[in-house]
Amino acid sequence: MFNLTRRHMIAAAAGVVATIATTRISTAQQQTAVAAGSDGPFKLPPLPYGYDALQAAIDTETMHLHHDKHHAAYVANLNAAAKEAPQIADHPMERLLANLDQVPDNLRTTVRNNLGGHVNHSMFWEIMGGTGAAPGDEVAAAIQRDFGGLDQLKTAFNAAGGKVFGSGWVFVTVTPEGKLALETRPNQDTPLMEGKRVLFGNDVWEHSYYLRYQNRRPDYLSTWWTVINWPKIGERYVVAREGKLTI
């Protein structure tokens, strides 16, 4: 039996209080960031977990900066564009990205970069927060069929992400028939711009990893799999096969 002294009990209680306080601060900071980045028709989605939830692969400070600053800036820029051209908020985001030629010329680059960044990051937060355990049966079968297995997918995905010159993304796309493919895009471009759908993807801009990994992008790419949320990816796969996956 453990012998808890009064000192131990006080220390334990202090730790609980500190944890609760940290959680409250984290929640308050997220709420502030979401409110600040959502003054208009486009909204910054809250993280579905705490800033420190991905410590196995991504440090807390990076999550603060990535969500509250970078993603919030994309949303703020979109809302500024919507004040000039309100019609850009009248269409589903994936449809707008697939029809950028219909965006006013003076706003097209702004919408391309910032709406691309918004949808990419909205997907990115959603498909993390897990333990990196094995994918469910349907997704596992698709990975086996189209890539030869999970290990082969990871190798190809990491290699593709490592070869992205400068900033960009590496994606696994999915058709309504469930077929998977590996694709990369520069900057904040997305396969949605060609009418495709994204099952999941990883951000290889330096702001995603530099505080912990510096120039070691391959280390980031390989460690990132430990925080993948395969159940969420499984949900996206089902929705994709129903033809209802959006961003």
pLDDT exceeds 70 at position 177: yes
Return phi, psi of residue 186, to 5°.
-80, 160
In the predicted structure, residue 8 carries a pLDDT above the cut 90: no
Residue burial 211-225, b: 16+ Cβ < 10 Å; e: rest: ebbeeebeebbbbbb
What's the pLDDT band for 39 if we cut at 50, 70, 90?
confident
242-246: Cβ within 8 A, 24+ apart: 242/176, 243/176, 245/174, 245/197, 246/92, 246/93, 246/94
Q: Is the per-residue pLDDT at 113 higher than 90?
A: yes
Domain ranges (residues) in the chain: 137-241
**Which CATH code is given to the segment(s) 137-241?**
3.55.40.20
| Averaged pLDDT, 108-133 | 97
User: Confidence band (pLDDT; 50, 70, 90) for 22?
Assistant: very low
Across the range 211-228, mean pLDDT stands at: 98
Mean pLDDT of the region 147-151: 98
Residues above pLDDT 70, as percent of the chain? 85
Predicted local confidence at residue 141, as pLDDT:
98
**What is the reported pLDDT for 37?**
55
